[in-house]
Amino acid sequence: MTRVSDPGAHWTVPDPARLATAIRLRAVRMVKPQGFGYLGQALSSAEQVAALFAAAAELGILDEDASAAYGQDGSPVEAIGTERSPVADYVCGSLGQGLSAAAGFALSDRLKHRDRRVFAMVSDGELEEGQVWEAAMFTAHHRLARLTVLLDANNSQVDGPVDTITTIEPIAAKWEAFGWTAADIDGHDVGAVSRALAEADNSNKPSVLICRTSTGYGLRCLPADADGHFIKLPPDLAARAEAELLERYHG
């Protein structure tokens, strides 16, 4: 996913950690009607989304009806995002393309003398795609320092744990070798993510935040063997998940 910040647009979030819980709660409610869905990605990236630009539905950027129609035929909020997805400027139905789009946005801003930041969210599984590294080289070569990548390193992809498919470590060293500033942080520490985003704003290189996360984070009720990539959520488990998050949100 790629997001280009709109100059002059700001959202104030007094409690980003509480917002991350709200994001997880909304994700559970969106997946609940189907009984399955890409819940793990929301559980692993909630703090990153809260720190970056908060959650669209929680801030009123996304219509409630659109949010409730997630995954249904004809809904603008698709299970697997495409170019029709709202809120973000570019959402990749095909993995690996987001950083290329983000680099294009950043280069366009420079050519048009627009000083604004560009953010891209990618995953560690995507690092198996060669296009990511081509885009990383291009971005560093052109010193597109206004571009920041949030890399959700949750060790999960469709075929299983990332480290059983392809060895991608050491992640930070690879990005640094490509000319980036890299920060390896706890992706569930919203304060650490916020601080890293602020530090990236002062870098003279493009920056990548390697956010170490888990696809089951924030939901103790999930079984230990739950498939983090595509979580099954039968009615009884959905009810327990919703109750757990509601208690934390109001507690």
Q: Which domains does the chain have, with CATH numbers?
A: 15-250 (3.40.50.970)
Dihedral angle, C-alpha 15, 16, 21, 27, nearest 10 °: 130
Q: For the chain, which ranges sit under pLDDT 70?
A: 1-11, 53-59, 71, 76, 78-86, 93-94
Residue 129 CA to residue 154 CA, distance in Å, equals: 16
179: region left, alpha or beta (phi > 0 left; psi from -120 to 50 alpha):
left
Residue 67 CA to residue 208 CA, distance in Å, equals: 29
Residue 157 CA to residue 123 CA, distance in Å, equals: 9
Residues 6+ apart with CB under 8 A from 83: 90, 91, 93
Quote the pLDDT of residue 227: 83
Distance, CA of 81 to chain centre: 13
- pLDDT 10s digits, 49-105: 888 766 666 667 777 787 777 767 777 676 666 556 667 788 876 678 999 999 999
Quote the pLDDT of residue 81: 63
Quote the pLDDT of residue 72: 73
DSSP state of 128: G
213: region left, alpha or beta (phi > 0 left; psi from -120 to 50 alpha):
beta
Radius of gyration of the chain (CA): 18
Query: Which two structure tokens, joined as six digits, stand for 183?
Result: 């920060």
Query: Which two structure tokens, joined as six digits, stand for 187?
Result: 């992706």
Measured CA distances, 80 to 68, 70, 91, 93 (Å): 15, 10, 9, 6
Helix (H) / strand (E) containing 3: strand 2-4
Residue 167 CA to residue 78 CA, distance in Å, equals: 31
Quote the pLDDT of residue 233: 92
Quote the pLDDT of residue 66: 74
Dihedral angle, C-alpha 177, 183, 184, 188, nearest 10 °: -150
CB 112 within 8 A of CB 140: no
Quote the pLDDT of residue 85: 66
Within 10 A of 204 (CB to CB), how many other CB atoms are there? 8
Measured CA distances, 241 to 31, 33, 221 (Å): 11, 14, 6
- Phi and psi of 154, rounded to 5°? -100, 5
